[in-house]
Chains A and B, each alone.
Chain A
Amino acid sequence: MAYYLRRLLGVLATLLVVSLLVFSLLQLAPGDPATVVAGPDATPEQIAAVRANLGLDAPFLSRYGGWLGDALRGDLGTSYTLGQPVTDLIGQRLGSTLQLVIAAMLLMGVLSAAAGVVLATGRNGAVRAAVDYLTTLALSVPPFVSSIILIFAFAVIWQVLPSGGEASITADPGGALRFLVLPALALALPNAAVLARLLATDMRRSLQEEYVLTARAKGASRRRIVWRHALPASLNLYIVQLGINFGNLIGGALVVEAIFARAGIGGLLVDAVTTRDYPTAQAVLLLTVAAAILAQMVSEMVIARVDPRVKARAAR
């Protein structure tokens, strides 16, 4: 228990640092939201008034403190440009991104685990070579290229899946899934390829470990050795990487959403940054970073469950 509590304290500290970074980075970027809000024909006096109105003339630290205090109470501020509460804006779009990331995460896990085990232990040379080739291909094509290839193949040539858009997951689950397949695949493929390689390398190493010899000496079958001995031993590294790649998925999702015309938080962020809409941009950035950090924390906690030595080591 103490182990998890210590990890949680660490995460909270990291989040605090991140919030300061997010806040200051945007403010340091050139451009003034007051000029955007006041419009192109505004006089300097009008801009100054808008600035005072938005609270931008207060000292940096007091603005940060105020924002952080509000954020902790659940108030992320009001969008400068849209005039709506940021929490509402995010709320409207979060579901779409969440669906995409979760679908990609599942695909990534399944594809990488299957490909990794085949690469490490497959006894059919041709199958192994094919998987090897496909992972290399997936590894070298970034999501914005694979998206276009997938759209071209499945939406333009064969016309089996929609090229873009989305449907409500509650009203039309089947339709929503059809819209999800291509973007989730585009997002998952390069990450899955990295993970598969990693798992394969680590499993090959695990299969060389001495305890595998012990298992053979017991009379265990090869299948048992692969699935019950080598795979669990390699899951550690795999889970860590899964947590790290979750961050990649979120970053990639913002791009893929644009290509597949999905109304997720990616579009919100791009608009907010270009119009210097600090409250919205800060909130979206903080949210995505927090999600990535939390994913890593979860992966570390899973490892602590899987590998009893982790906790013992941390306690030392």
Chain B
Amino acid sequence: MITTVHNTPDGEPVLRVRGLTAVLDLPTGPATALHELDFDIGAGEILGVVGESGSGKSLTSLAVMRMLPDAARVTAGQILLHGEDLLTKSEKDMRRLRGRHLGIVFQDPLAYLHPLKRVGAQLRESLTVHAATRAQAATRALELLKLVGIPDAEQRIDDYPHQFSGGMRQRVMIAMAVAHNPSLLIADEPTTALDVTIQAEILRVLVRLRDELGTAVMLITHDIGVVEDTCDRVLVMYAGRIAEQAGTGTLLKSPRHPYTRELLRSVPHLNTPLLDRLPAIPGQPPDPRNRPAGCPFHDRCPDVRDRCTREMPPLERVDADPGHSVACWVAPDTPVQIAAPAGGERRTGRPETEVILSVEDVRVWYTSRRWPWSTEVVPAVDGVTFQARQGTAVGLVGESGCGKSTLAKAILGLQPVTSGRLTVAGREWSGADSHQRAALRRTVQMVFQDPYASLNPRMTVGDSIAEPLRNYHLAGRSQLAGAVRELLDQVGLPARYADSYPYQLSGGQRQRVGIARALAVSPKLIVADEPVSALDVSVQAQVINLFDDLRDRTGVGYVFITHDLAVARHMCDDILVMYAGRIVESGPASAIFANPSHPYTRTLLASAPGSGLTKDTGLKPASGTRPTGGCRFRDRCPVGPAANPQRTVCAERDPALDAVGPRHHAACHFAERDDR
């Protein structure tokens, strides 16, 4: 056997980091990327590392692996693995440690797996580079695939990564990382690219491996819910420093650092009362090139004092709690409780406004043609009906592949519908001539997920916003600048940004530009595909508030596509839950979140981060093929025939979207009613 278990007698931590300081060599000169980090991870402990982009959390993990990019270097400190300093090791010694004592799982498993090598070959490589024989490696590779829960491991081992689903790929990555039972496993945003149900599964795998193998785990994430569900202790990083460090329970309930506190408040949560506005942190996380003097958070901090602008606060122990330390001049004197902040109860119920989007039994079937004479039909959207009204937001939720993005494309007229009627502001896309299509495009606009890719890098912000105005001749040459200024003002950006290029803006600012561009033609409906998921947590709340304000001010309607149920609950009036191209549940957000009726909705809610991992949702893993005829969800359903064989009706009859409460519908033979 090639496994080794590293016990840590007398409670010595597996990893002990002391005074770790690193600089980034930028064209503008060296910049401090990590500043005097001190932390430990014990055997069998999961340490959560939370922070925004540029906070240094990934850099910390790469420093521990001694895999920093060329532009970064460690200038001081110690990284002790079982008491041995990794910083003094030769590259050759490090090679022996990597993969054996140190394992790492990265964010995007598709990019981090070699596209041209079979999964089994990549797994075996983890073993053979550390002197396992081919036969040993082959046996162990299969063992590992089973360990991380790949069904039919014997058959799947010779598949290529592109034949695996996202969750299965991440399991493979984890299998490679734990191939030698490493003492330390680093997971860098391991579930960020995955659906909530898959996320919960992967986190369960990590927790189980920690339990079984006693591995020390460093879990890097931006998601407070993930921390809540999995971590024993949390490290909050801000601008390359540790802002606060505490046990998970303490940190979530009584954080000391204003940043931690504000961050926790600004994140919408599934189980807290709804607020009219999210208490957002102003500003952006600082650029590593240009960090403010004193406390790096002082320019965004509500409790800022004179001293904060001049002196950097050291990380100091909070007296009462030996495991709790905080770097703040103000915090130690003022323990805070995360109480419901001011902002008022959320308005409920809107007047019946004009219907701006009407979708009636819309189908979008993709046909692929392998031979000129044969076609294969994939029903991406399969008979969807709903309406959206002016000044309201409809949320589309569901796992990737459920058809929500295809539906969005159809609403935008980018994808012709196969059958059914799709009417925007009284006009239909299908059959419209180019003139009518142009007019329709003015009524419905799009905000994209990735604010980096959706702006042309060679156009100034002003030009990007002015382009739709020019296309529709909405403003003369002399009025353009004024119109752009007004739009920038609407999305909360100063007018001077008109002359900036996208690279000069932060992610949140870019997303504001994207929103301004969509608003330029005064649309009646905006379709937004995951508009905040690419943004830093502290910036998400700002953009969510902006969407809310714009709706109240302009009466625009929204269709939001999101995987984040808490965000959907906060932003949307109505929710549509999609599965396999169909709506399985629809209704007012309040009804759906309070009384989820369809078993699929219930599993989605139970899988949402922050809901705890202990309860088993009963969701069966998706197989490659979807059942046809009857209920499409039955092969995965926790209450359907897979769990209760006597429920044969699920395979026999297609469940209709029936009322289960006022305006609340679910397509399930065993749906739970609101008045249950």
Residues of A within 8 A of B (CB): 2, 6, 209-211, 213-221, 224, 228-229, 232-233, 306-309, 312, 315-316
Contact = CB atoms under 8 A, between A and B. Distances in A.
A59 B617 CA distance: 78
A209 B114 CA distance: 9
A219 B160 contact: no
Contacts of A213: 67, 106, 112
A208 B103 CA distance: 20
Contacts of B97: 219
Given A2-B370, A316-B368, A214 B129 contact: no
13 contacts: A2-B370, A209-B111, A214-B113, A214-B176, A217-B98, A218-B99, A218-B129, A219-B95, A219-B129, A219-B130, A307-B116, A309-B115, A316-B368
B104 interface: yes
A227 B371 CA distance: 38
Given A211-B114, A215-B125, 20 more contacts: A2-B371, A6-B370, A209-B111, A211-B111, A214-B113, A214-B176, A216-B98, A217-B98, A217-B99, A217-B177, A218-B125, A219-B99, A219-B100, A220-B95, A220-B125, A228-B125, A232-B117, A308-B116, A309-B162, A312-B163
B538 interface: no
Interface in B136-186: 160, 162-163, 173, 176-177
Contacts of A229: 114
A164 B598 CA distance: 84
A14 to B, nearest CB: 16
B495 to A, nearest CB: 38
Nearest to A216: B67
Contacts of A215: 114, 125
A125 to B, nearest CB: 15
Given A217-B103, A316-B368, A308 B160 contact: yes
B575 interface: no
Nearest to B110: A210
Nearest to B130: A219
A308 B162 contact: yes
Contacts of B116: 232-233, 306-308
B126 interface: yes
Contacts of A216: 67, 98
Given A2-B370, A308-B160, A316-B368, A218 B176 contact: yes
A134 B138 CA distance: 45
In the A-B complex, the 8 residue pairs with the closest CB atoms: A219-B99, A218-B99, A210-B111, A219-B98, A211-B114, A210-B112, A217-B104, A214-B112
Interface string B74-112: 000000000000000000000111111011101010011
Contacts of A214: 106, 112-114, 173, 176
A217 B65 contact: yes
A107 B100 CA distance: 42
A228 B95 CA distance: 16
Nearest to B115: A309
Interface string B116-133: 110000000110011000
B70 to A, nearest CB: 11
A214 B121 CA distance: 14
Contacts of A228: 125
B534 to A, nearest CB: 18
Nearest to A228: B125
A303 to B, nearest CB: 10
A210 B125 CA distance: 16
Contacts of A312: 162-163
A309 B117 CA distance: 11
Given A217-B65, A220-B125, A221-B95, A211 B173 contact: no
Nearest to A212: B114
A218 B111 contact: no
B61 to A, nearest CB: 10
Contact of A224 (B103, B126, B129, B173): B129
A121 to B, nearest CB: 14
Contacts of B368: 315-316
A220 B177 CA distance: 13
A217 B126 CA distance: 9
Nearest to B62: A213
Contacts of B96: 219
B63 to A, nearest CB: 13
